[in-house]
């Protein structure tokens, strides 16, 4: 796969031998690719990503994989709080309020090729292809509600949820009962924490809980605009079961 290498960001440091485990997908929220390159390569901004993909599918390599790019910010996944050290950051030239407000076919094609390369090079589990909003649900929304996760799923790059049998549902329900979770909300929080989300403060804070649920809903329950514990719960049971089967 060919990359444009002539632009390099100074905003990186050492991974300190941390293993690359995650791929984080962002959008730039800027006017165009040139603005994004300028921003990500500006030393004063103190922000960068490893890759930037334009609307026409051109892939810019701004920071070498071996370095720790500064793309995740304050984030959390599976008890890790230094996400930059264990991840590759990919920015997409997309702005929900701009003329570049479509995830073009060429862009997504290049993204898929890049993910395949990275998964092969670093043995990245398909559970660990994440949205910025997955690792920072209380402050970030990208890549947003219009990002075509279904396209990545159909290409087997991210996990698909198989429907569960009645016996499989009973296994999960029994497991929840063993933990004495009496409400769906507590079960939802527990499942989200096992998958990797930051649930440390959501039990006693409804605002944070709703932001977390919104981030999950936008990715996994597209088209459902209201927070409904039943639909979230049913999806999470499938997610958790498939996650436990495929995580390694």
Could you say which DSSP state residue 164 is in? P
Residues carrying an active site annotation: 91
The 3-state DSSP class for residue 143 equals coil
Instruction: Encode burial over 149-188: b for 16+ CB neighbours within 10 A, e otherwise.
Output: bebbeeeebbbebeebeeebeeebeeebeeeebeeebebb
The answer to whether the CB of 131 falls within 8 A of the CB of 142 is: yes
What's the CA gap between 76 and 116, in Å, rounded?
A: 24
Tokens matching residue 14: 């050492």
The answer to whether the CB of 54 falls within 8 A of the CB of 78 is: no
φ/ψ of 23, rounded to 5, equals -120, 125
Could you say which DSSP state residue 81 is in? S
């Amino acid at each position: 796969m060919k990359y444009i290498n002539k632009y390099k960001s100074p905003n990186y440091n050492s991974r300190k031998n941390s293993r690359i485990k995650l791929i984080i997908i962002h959008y730039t929220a800027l006017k165009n690719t040139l603005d994004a390159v300028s921003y990500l390569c500006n030393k004063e901004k103190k922000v960068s990503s490893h890759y930037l993909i334009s609307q026409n599918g051109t892939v810019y390599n701004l920071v070498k994989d071996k370095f720790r790019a500064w793309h995740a910010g304050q984030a959390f996944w599976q008890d890790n709080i230094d996400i930059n050290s264990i991840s590759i950051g990919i920015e997409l030239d997309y702005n929900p309020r701009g003329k570049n407000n479509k995830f073009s076919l060429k862009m997504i094609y290049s993204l898929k090729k890049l993910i395949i390369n990275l998964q092969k090079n670093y043995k990245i589990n398909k559970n660990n292809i994440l949205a910025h909003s997955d690792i920072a649900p209380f402050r970030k929304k990208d890549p947003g509600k219009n990002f075509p996760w279904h396209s990545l799923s159909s290409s087997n790059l991210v996990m698909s949820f198989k429907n569960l049998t009645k016996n499989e549902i009973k296994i999960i329900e029994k497991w929840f009962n063993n933990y004495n979770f009496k409400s769906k909300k507590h079960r939802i929080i527990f499942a989200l924490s096992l998958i990797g989300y930051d649930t440390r403060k959501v039990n006693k804070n409804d605002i944070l809980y709703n932001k977390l649920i919104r981030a999950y809903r936008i990715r996994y329950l597209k088209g459902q605009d209201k927070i409904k514990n039943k639909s979230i719960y049913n999806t999470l049971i499938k997610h958790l079961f498939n996650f436990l089967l495929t995580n390694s």
